Amino acid sequence: MSAWAAETAAAHGEPFYATAEFWVMVAFVILVAFAFKPLFRIAVTALDARAETIKHQIDEAARLREEAQGLLATYQRKQRDAMKETGDILDQARDEAARQASRAEEAVEASLKRRERTALERIAQAEARSLEAVRGLAVDIAVDATRRVLAETVTDKKAHALVAEAIKELPKKLN
């Protein structure tokens, strides 16, 4: 400032304190000095409030972080428990599937045995029906053959004697 004052004095030939610029500068310095104290208080108060807000935000963030870590640990524990439970359920399902498969296999075997028995019974019944049919056919053929032979060889007199004898034996055969 003294350099400026010396320059101003040399340029105009009057002392530096007699110039308008000097007094403007002095007034500006006084104005800044008076305004500095309240402005400084306002700035410090605003900065303190801002620092307090930031501190509260940091504390809140730390609290939220701790809460998040607690929740993370809880969910990790729940996930491990769920995985274990899932494994247990899968093991039980496999065991149950094996039991179901063995039961189904036993049921199939029993069903096959029943069907085999039924088929054998049907075969036996078919054989019996076939034998009865063959016997019936044989009886029919024998009766027919006997009728022909009797018709060709038996006379009327002999036929009447045979019928009479059959009628006499009838009461004995019916009892």
Instruction: Name the percent of the chain in helix, strand, coil, to the closest 5.
Output: 95, 0, 5
- Contact, 16 vs 5, CB < 8 A? yes
Per the document, the length of the chain is 175
Distance CA 21, CA 27 (A): 10
pTM for the model: 0.39
pLDDT score recorded for residue 58: 96
How far apart are the C-alpha atoms of 156 and 37, rounded to whole Å? 168
pLDDT, residue 6, reads 55
Tell me how far apart the 2 most distant CA atoms of the chain are, in Å: 198
**Distance separating alpha carbons of residues 20 and 5, to the nearest angstrom:** 12
Burial class (CB in 10 A: 0-12, 13-18, 19+), 9: middle
Q: What is the C-alpha to C-alpha distance for residues 77 and 62, in angstroms, rounded to an integer?
A: 22
Low-confidence ranges of the chain (pLDDT < 50): none
